Chains A and B, each alone.
Chain A
Amino acid sequence: MSTVLQTIVEKKHYRFIDGEGVTWQDAIRLSAESLVADGSVDADYYKQIVACVEKYGPYVVFEHNVAMPHTQENATGAHKTGIGFMVSEKMIDFGEDEDGEKKEANLFFTLSSTNPDEHMNNIQQLSAIFMNDALLDALAAARTPEEILEAEKKYPCEEEF
């Protein structure tokens, strides 16, 4: 079975941007564009994610500058389960969290979910990826789909315990 990163490459669900002057709202829109391209989500799906972050703060930005923008399962405008991956060369500013800590991201894994089993599988794999600092560094340095696959080969995920 393909890993989520292999699926991202196979389905062309990736994008590489410079990120200069890009707002977090634009970054979320851009990260979802590869999902829009094959009909996984509607063009305005990203607006629900933006509304969510506006409401609850930048909780979708985790440690190590990884963002996982998402809405609820079976959101309006979501048609297939998938992950829109994006690397930004410059950090995207998400403002501050509730503790006044600055939140910024250069890696985006934007989620769409309609199938609970596929979504669960994606989430489990992403958890492992997000805890794998060496892999995250290599992904942040990737500028081509081949480099995404090379990063995964070089730094495979291991179970936490």
Chain B
Amino acid sequence: MAKLDGKKLLACCANGAGSSLMMENAIKKVMTKYGIKPSELRHCPVSEGKTAARNYDVVFCARTFVKTFDGVEKNGTVLIPLKNVMSAQEIEAALKEADLLD
């Protein structure tokens, strides 16, 4: 079983309408490529993500918003900051780096 099967994934950006949606699409591509089925994958604005993050296994955000999620890793949430939010290749590499993809 893949490590991300059944996990909850969240993509955050400032408004929850532009780049987080791009991220969600790019994450979906990676999940499809590896045949992984997360139990949840959604996007939202950072204002909401800040409190919601602790309920997710992995949170993706643009590097600008890293500080917003300060301390979230204490709850066991993995934070994946991205330079290019629409790059499935970067997401794939970052997940491998975090030992979440085989």
Binding site for B on A (CB under 8 A): 52, 55-57, 59-60, 62-63, 68, 70-73, 97-99, 111, 113, 119-120, 123-124, 126-127, 130-131, 159-161
Contact = CB atoms under 8 A, between A and B. Distances in A.
Contact of A59 (B13, B87, B88, B89): B13
B25 A123 contact: yes
Given A57-B64, A160-B29, A71 B15 contact: yes
B45 A124 contact: no
A159 B86 CA distance: 12
Nearest to B23: A127
Nearest to A113: B17
Nearest to B84: A63
Contacts of B25: 123-124, 127
Nearest to A63: B84
A59 B62 CA distance: 8
Interface in B53-102: 62-65, 83-89
24 contacts: A52-B14, A57-B64, A59-B14, A59-B64, A59-B65, A60-B18, A62-B84, A62-B85, A63-B84, A68-B19, A70-B15, A70-B17, A72-B17, A73-B15, A73-B16, A98-B63, A111-B17, A123-B21, A123-B25, A124-B25, A160-B89, A161-B29, A161-B33, A161-B88
